[in-house]
Structure 1
């Protein structure tokens, strides 16, 4: 499932992130690519242990810990520290690839299964041309280019690419989540049920039916979750 989460970063947090990125020192993105991905990857990344990257990681992870829509959509068990990339000029694209199934948290040796891929857009889409994230799913290709501060979640199993940036610079954060619920189909059912429950409560309050459906939601989560 593809889920857009709007305004993950507030206007103030986004301005701070963009200011830090403006002073960052970038390196070739191929350093973190696997064998297959390295053949089609042509972008720049922040060294994950750099001071700017660590500040940005703390900012984003702090926001996600308090974000109810992110929790509902991802049901996170582990979240890899966010990484950061830049597309533009001669380093402007990333061809079709699939993310590695298991990644290691830097400096810890902790393994994370990449159930969900996340891209948090950090540049105003009007400031660059191209750069769409193209994700192949069961309904065909989905082209994603969101407002700065918005995020998209999509299955880690998806073939995806970033189209060439022909003007300006595309800045984004990307990372992976190991979910308590491994199945994308089960996560989708739980997410849809949670969103419907929220609407029912807004329209009718805490009715007996809402309580019963909430119980069903948690019983399904109890059945499917691996904590």
Structure 2
């Protein structure tokens, strides 16, 4: 399931985070890539340290606290976030994410955009599928969530600087189609409640959603 989520961070928060990253040291992003991804990865990533740890904690808390993300991804755990910078000429060629990172199975990938899209050209996240390609370039503070099983790439940046936080979630529900079904049921349940309150129909949809989650959850 491909989903965009608005307002995970406010404009003011994004500005503050950009300032924090501006004072950090960056290193070659290939250090965290798999052996084949190293061949096509060309970006810089914030170097490990106390400041990065604090920033990771802050941004991860905002992501995990976002209700839409929680319902879409059903996250059990997140990998440590990577803060990546793409200057002019930088890109990340087509690749699939590692299935395990830091002992966590990667079911769901996400990118949180931190730079104003008008401040750079190119840099679209391109997600590939049998139906074609989906290009994603979002306002600062917005998040895109997609299946970690997909091939994807970052188009070359031709002007300015692309700045993002990327990460991966292990889901309580491994299968993408099941996660989407649960999300649809939750959306329908909330719509029924908004229209008519707690009715017998609402209770049945709530029961179905809860019991499917119970059936599919891996704890």
- Flag whether TM exceeds 0.5 (same fold): yes
RMSD of aligned residue pairs (Cα, Å) = 1.2
1:112 — aligned with what? 104
- How far, CA to CA, are the matches of 2:185 and 2:149 in structure 1? 23
Tell me if structure 1 keeps the 8 A contact 2:83–2:164. yes
| Correspondences of 1:145-184 after superposition (within 5 Å) | 145-184=137-176
Gapped runs of 5+ residues in structure 1?
105-110
Instruction: State TM-score, norm by structure 1.
Output: 0.93
Gapped runs of 5+ residues in structure 2?
none
1:206 aligns with 2:204: no
1:62 aligns with 2:61: yes
Alpha-carbon spacing, 1:200–1:6, altered in 2? closer, same or farther (3 Å)? same
- How far, CA to CA, are the matches of 1:196 and 1:140 in structure 2? 29
1:99 — aligned with what? 97
Which of 197, 200, 211 is matched with 1:219 structurally?
211
Q: Which runs of 4+ in 1 moved over 4 A?
A: none
Q: How much does 1:137 deviate?
A: 2.5
Q: How much does 1:89 deviate?
A: 2.7
- Describe the SS at the equivalent of 2:36: helix
Instruction: State TM-score, norm by structure 2.
Output: 0.96
- How far, CA to CA, are the matches of 2:205 and 2:85 in structure 1? 44
How many aligned positions are there?
Answer: 219
- Describe the SS at the equivalent of 2:84: strand
Tell me if structure 1 keeps the 8 A contact 2:30–2:43. yes
- How far, CA to CA, are the matches of 2:193 and 2:16 in structure 1? 36
Residues 41-94 of structure 1 show CA distances to partners (whole Å, capped at 9, x for unaligned) of 0110012x323321221111221332211110010111112111000134x100
- How far, CA to CA, are the matches of 2:68 and 2:201 in structure 1? 22
| Correspondences of 1:180-199 after superposition (within 5 Å) | 180-199=172-191
Q: How much does 1:138 deviate?
A: 4.1
